Amino acid sequence: QVQLVESGGGLVQAGDSLRLSCAASGRTSSSYFVGWFRQAPGKEREFVAAISWTGRPTNYADSVKDRFTISRDNAENTVYLQMNSLKPEDTAIYYCAATFVGSTLFREYDYDYWGQGTQVTVSS
């Protein structure tokens, strides 16, 4: 199993940047894929970005492409989501998720392990 803890959320203004972290523990010696999802109030959880064990390939939702960057440091068992040019519509709880099976990686049910989430609020 893998345990995930997100951090780095907060309240920022439109145009600002934030970097979220997802720290993994447990079965981290095995290759695992990580995705970021988000859920805004009253909306379903949606895919944001995903990364393979090696760091390539990466995948992004169209809404965040060219603004967000996913990366990982396997020595630190941490995956990052660098978020630039934040918009009010990026406001959501952000979750990281992990799986040992690399499939499409953009669906919730592709993942077996989830963190508790970190709140990101972007004011206009």
pLDDT for 30 equals 81
> What pLDDT was estimated at residue 104?
81
Q: Which residues of the chain carry a pLDDT beneath 70? A: none
Tell me how far CA of residue 14 lies from CA of 28, 51, 85, 87, 122, in angstroms: 35, 26, 7, 5, 6
User: Average pLDDT, whole number, for the chain?
Assistant: 95
pLDDT of res. 118: 98
pLDDT at 122: 98
pLDDT of residue 68: 98
**pLDDT at position 29:** 78
Closest to 36 (Cα-Cα) out of 123, 118, 101: 118
